[in-house]
Structure formats: C-alpha cells, structure tokens
Structure 1
C-alpha cells in the first residue's frame, strides 16, 4: 500500500508552491541509500507535505515507461499499478472512435485520469466525462487533464460507478483489482462488480477493462456474456482482456497484438474467430512458432495458423510449426530434435557448444530454471530449447535463438 493522499495534499501539489516543491523533490535521488537524508531535507522545508512529495516523485519515475507525460502527472501507487500502458489506452480510444464516432464517452472509474486523457486527446470524440467515487482522485484527474492539449470537451465529477450519472453514448469502466489485502482474481471481488456493471448499463455500449487472465469462456458459459472479448498484448506481454457489450457488439473473440516502434509508433496486428481454424497436425517444418500470448489467451492459435499457412505438432498444444515466421509470433529455427531425457539433452547441448540457454515449455511438467541447472550449459553459443508433447511423448527441439516475425 502506498501513501494515502488527502485533499489538502492535492491542493498543495497543484499550487505554485507545490510545483516548486515537486521540482526540488525531483532533483533528489530518493534512493534507498539517500532516503533518510532526502526525507530530512523535504520535511525541513515542506512539512506536512513531505510524504506527498516523495510519493508523487517516486510514482512518476515508475510510470515513465507506462504513461505519457508521467513527470507532469499526479499519481498514487495503486493508480500506477492499475493504469493502462499508453499504447494500449491509445489503441482502445482509436477503437472507440471507430465503433462509436462522435460519441460522448463516460469513464465511470476514471481514477487519476490516465486513460481519460488519451480519450480526450482523440479527434472524433464528441465529449468525455470522467467520474470516480474518490474526491482526491477526481482532483488528481482534473490536474492531469490540464497537462495536455485536449481535443474533446472534458468534464470531471464525483460519482459512484454504479449510478447512472450521465446519458453518455458509451460507458468505459476499469474495475479495481486490488484491495487492502492485495490483488484479487475472482470476478465477484472486482470493485465495482462486473455483473453489477452489466446490469446498471444494460442496453448501452459498455467497455470494461479486465485482467489478462480473465476466463472469458467461463463468462459466456456460466453468466451469459454475449459480447466481444478482446485480449491485448504489448511488446510480447499480455496486458488485459477488454469486454465490449451492448448494441452493435457480437460474441467474438479478438486478439490485438501491439508492438512499440521508433518515435512512439505502435504497430497493430489483429485476428478474430470469424476466420477459419482448419489446420492439420504434421511433422515439424523448419521453424517452431510460438504465437503471441494474446493469440493464445484468446483461443485463436488455430485461426492464426490457418491465416499464415502453419500447422500443429499436436492438436492440443499451442506451439505451431512451418517454413517461415509470420508477424505476431516468435520463431525458433530447429537444428536438432531429441527426447526430453536430461542425459540426452546434456550431451546434445554440449556437442553444440551451448552457453546461454532459453527454455520454453508447453504440455510437460518441467521447471525451466531447475532443468537449466541440471543441464549445466558451459559453452559459448546461445541456443533455445523448446520442450513439448506430441501425443503422449515428450519431445525436445534444440533451436537457434528466437526471432520475432515481421510484416
């Protein structure tokens, strides 16, 4: 748990004196080695706001790779942890504009306004409303909305997410996945409840950001969810599952794969279950293909294989194989195939002068770190080891280091 900001803290941080104090705090290292001295300096000059200054600066530093304009924002520890990385938030805002052009969008759990800023900066949005039950976070959001040039009229207010506080065309929600006891995983532990959100905003377009591990198939089967489940990854890491429901949505599974490029550019790849998934299982080709995690989580491995002319090693395993590496996948060129015996693997890797060794496992109960210690590679050549199951038989593929597929 981070520092608990008060309304007085936020008012000070937004003032001219607060801006000067933040500049002073930002000039300090605030490292474990210097923290006692840094606290003493800030306490001597800015009591009782020293703790708020330290928390703000440390949160800004942690948010630099996640949020744009992080060094200008007012943030809390929880807000940084749950905030959507800006390329993902940007992609969602683009999608909202595409689906609902010239709409008024209400972010009913706006927190400190990180995603609200992305929406308000987007051309094609008629207006943005942000609300949160916590008045301190609303005040932070008001500050953060003032750090960038906004394209859409933006209004902030205090309201419970389960109260229809506006007649906006589209509702956006990001239920909290943390409590005082830590992270929560069950759907009924989210705040506000996912099912209550669906009930309160029934009949209206609703976009709900959820954790990447959400079992969207169970949501359909057990709770009757009939909207779209979109799993999004960024630079190889699965970030979230977003649920789209209401008028105009269909029960589709979608994987969105985002890759950061130079100059802030973000490449986007998408696939849905509207496409064919008829693929064979056969002997390995030149490459083992590991589809992006969003594709795996969305249950679209076979659809991805069909689109790119790949095939499966085993119908139950997410590794694919083929003669080239398509985008949204990582490829490992096969240079050898063995059993999964430690003795056999150790000998084969020694023969190949294996040094640094990446181990990937699917379908077998193997701890990669423990196996690496047992194999004791001591050579100079970096290699990858892909362990999987074909039928009931464990198989090991010794490969060149993995490469990303490109367009």
Structure 2
C-alpha cells in the first residue's frame, strides 16, 4: 500500500467506508465494487477498503471477532500471532508484573493488543512504515499502547523505562519461510543479546528451530492450536517461572494444557501406570498419536509415562497401550487389526469390508498416502482409518478408529 492510499484509508472518509462495508463475500464483491464505484468512491480508496474487507474475513480465523475492527497487510496477517496464543503471551507479562513491555517487531499489533487488554503498557516498534501505521490504528482504543516506526534494536530500553521485551523477528523473505535463526530479521543472536539490557525477554521463533539454537537459560515452549503447531517461544528471567527447559502448550477451544519435562502436566488427567521412558512394546488395544507440540518439544516419552504406554517403534512418535487414558496431549485410536504392509493384501482387506474412503496416517515409512489411495482404488460405502508405520522392524498396517 503506497503512502497516499494509506492516508486515504485512514482518513475520516476511509474509516466511514470501512464501517459501511458488509461482511466480505466473494460472490458479492463485484456487485459491491460496482455500486460503490458508481457512487463516486475514489478508486484507490475503494480497492484498499475492499482488500481490507477480504483480509478481515481471513483474519477471523486467527483473531476472532477482533479482526472485524483491524487493518491488515497480507504479509502481516500471515505472521500475526493467533489471538489465543497472544493472550497466553500477555498473561506471562502480567504475571511477572511487567510495567512497560517493548514489543519489538510488533507487526500489526496483535500481541500488543493482547497486552493492552490486560492493562499492560506497551511500546511497540515496527520497521516497516505502512505496517507501523496500521498497528497504530489497530491500537487506537488503548492509550497505554504507543507505536513507533523505527529500528527495534536501536531502542535504548533502560532509558525508555522498559522492563520486559517481546520480540517477533521476521521469519519470511520473498514469501518463503526462513528456518535458519541467523537469517531472521533481526537475527536471533541480536535479539537474545537484549538480555544484557532487560533480562525479562520473550522471543517468538519458528517451531522448527533446531535444539542447538536454544540457549541453556531459556524456557522453550512449543504451541499447538487445534492440532496445528503454530510457533515456539523462548522465555527468560521473570517471564519463565518454569525455569530453563522445554514444554508443550496445547490449545483446543477454551482448553489449555501444558506438558513439562518434569512435575505435573497442567490440564492433564490422572496418569496411567508409568512406563519406562522409551520402552518399545507390541501394539495394544489403543494407539496414541502425540500432539505435534509434544513431538517438537521432545516430550513423547513424558506422555508415555502419563499414559502408561510404550513406543510402537524406536524413534517413531506413536505410542500404544492396553487401556484408554484420556489426555489432551495425544489423539487416541482403538486398534481393530494389524498386519504387515503389502498393497494387495491391504486392498483385499479393505474391499472385503466395503471400504470406500480411507484416512491414511503414517510415520516412519516412505509410502505416499495419495499414491496409495489411488492404488487401492476403493469403491465401497464405508470409511476406514489406517496407520502405516513400523512394528518390530517391519512395515505394518494398523486399522484403527478414533476414540
């Protein structure tokens, strides 16, 4: 968005137009555009407003009803923190008693908004001028939130009275994700160096961050939302009451459950009989698929202890046991059958049971689900779920059903 168009969008006329627009509808977008154009609405303003309407509709998946009153850029929305996760972040700062949080690389202001809603003052800094202007607009309802356009690392934190920092370095370039922490903007090492000024530091990083990049004094927490691993966070000082280590935060609707390396798992149910960590056992009556955040945090063995379960195969994140133990940290399936994997026997098995739609889950095998689905050529009327993995060193099929 060029500065002139941005100015039109933020003008009283632009705000009025945004408030007038109905909820976005792809089917009705052309008719709406034609009607507003015929009314004499400035073409650049009209295009910008309709783009915002479309982005607000997309943003609802991350930000809920708040998206309807926010302004976005496509890139900013892509990297924006989900509302539920931002609220978890904000609670760390509130619990630590933070008096002024510097939100460095604030993007469109999602995390600053969550902090402001808890009454935590925020100094938000953003290097991109357009994004900073949109963040300021998004944070207008909160006088305690200030947005600056500038270099986040140039801020004199102690002089500003900042006693806690949240940093969200850019992890995309040219539309591509950046996996190397040294290639973040700014680089992760430069962000971590801020601890010398302000010990209470939180950094949002990619969930695929290598363990070798984790500082020894960090509490690293991987976060999943409705089964999708969305980020990892590094927490230091008073923002990490758990102390150094790793944890997994699993969010599903209003439910939040935390699994740590030691101690009790918040939100977990009563554990089953403990299993030796890493123990491998034959398939039992129940198969557990650990949540992705649990896997990324390296806590599969911890879940096995809670469930009284064992590994289906070494180095493969499937667990199995003889009794069902409800848990937020894994999806449970009832095991119906098990046999070695081969195309013809599998096809015959499924056809004999009138299966027409098959859900294929896999770990530890090179089989491509879509290719296998075509090869099976099923035409039945019933659904089925199969799991392809290794059992006792052999490629195997487990026929399962969700519990």
TM bracket, shorter-chain basis:
0.7 to 0.9
CA shift for structure 1 position 388: 0.8
Residues 44-74 of structure 1, C-alpha deviation per residue, up to 9 Å, x if partnerless? 5213323322321221111011114111111
Residues 299 and 43 of structure 1, relative CA distance in 2, 3 Å threshold: farther
Map 1:119-198; keep pairs closer than 5 Å: 119-123=115-119, 125=120, 127-147=121-141, 150=142, 153-167=144-158, 168-180=162-174, 182-198=176-192
Give the corresponding residue for 1:339.
340
Map 1:249-398; keep pairs closer than 5 Å: 249=240, 250-260=243-253, 266-275=254-263, 278-279=276-277, 280-322=279-321, 323-328=323-328, 329-398=330-399
Distance 1:114 1:31 in 2: 29
Q: Is contact 2:113–2:139 with CA below 8 Å preserved after alignment?
A: yes
SS in 2 for 1:230: strand
CA shift for structure 1 position 24: 4.8
CA shift for structure 1 position 245: 2.8
TM-score by length of 2: 0.87
Residues 302-323 of structure 1, C-alpha deviation per residue, up to 9 Å, x if partnerless? 0011022222122321100121
Q: Is contact 1:338–1:344 with CA below 8 Å preserved after alignment?
A: no
CA shift for structure 1 position 11: 3.4
Give the corresponding residue for 2:271.
none
CA shift for structure 1 position 106: 1.1
CA shift for structure 1 position 229: 1.2
Q: CA RMSD in A?
A: 2.5
Q: Point out where structure 2 has 5 or more consecutive residues left out of the alignment.
A: 264-273
CA shift for structure 1 position 32: 9.6
SS in 2 for 1:379: coil
Distance 1:19 1:154 in 2: 21
Q: Point out where structure 1 has 5 or more consecutive residues left out of the alignment.
A: 261-265
Q: Is contact 1:43–1:50 with CA below 8 Å preserved after alignment?
A: no
Instruction: Figure out how many residues of one structure are paired with residues of the other and give that number.
Output: 383
Residues 27 and 252 of structure 1, relative CA distance in 2, 3 Å threshold: closer
Give the corresponding residue for 1:106.
102
Residues 166 and 158 of structure 1, relative CA distance in 2, 3 Å threshold: farther
TM-score by length of 1: 0.86
